[in-house]
């Protein structure tokens, strides 16, 4: 069904995936275990950001576009 070169190619790809998979798992484990404190601090800085936003002031009008209230 498959030629000899196709089987060889599949074998090489399978071996490459099997070689890379443990490295990926190692990196995930290293990030979650060893770098936990650094990553938590980084996430807290991103999520707990306080930004002061000045409210826009303007004229409040009714449905006929007549001035209803004005901010000073």
Q: How confident is the model over 19-68, as pLDDT tens digits?
A: 999 999 999 999 888 888 998 999 888 887 788 888 888 888 889 989 88
Helix, strand or coil, per DSSP, at residue 67: strand
**Taking the mean position of all CA atoms in its chain, how far away is CA 28?**
16
Return all residues near 31 (Cβ < 8 A) that are at least 6 apart: 39
**Taking the mean position of all CA atoms in its chain, how far away is CA 55?**
30
pTM of the shown model: 0.45
Return all residues near 70 (Cβ < 8 A) that are at least 6 apart: 59, 60
């Amino acid at each position: 069904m498959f030629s000899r070169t196709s089987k060889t190619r599949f074998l090489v790809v399978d071996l490459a995936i099997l070689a890379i998979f443990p490295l990926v798992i190692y990196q995930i484990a290293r990030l979650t275990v060893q770098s936990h404190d650094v990553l938590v601090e980084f996430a807290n800085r991103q999520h707990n950001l306080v930004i002061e936003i000045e409210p826009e002031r303007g004229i409040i009008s009714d449905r006929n576009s007549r001035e209803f209230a004005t901010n000073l």
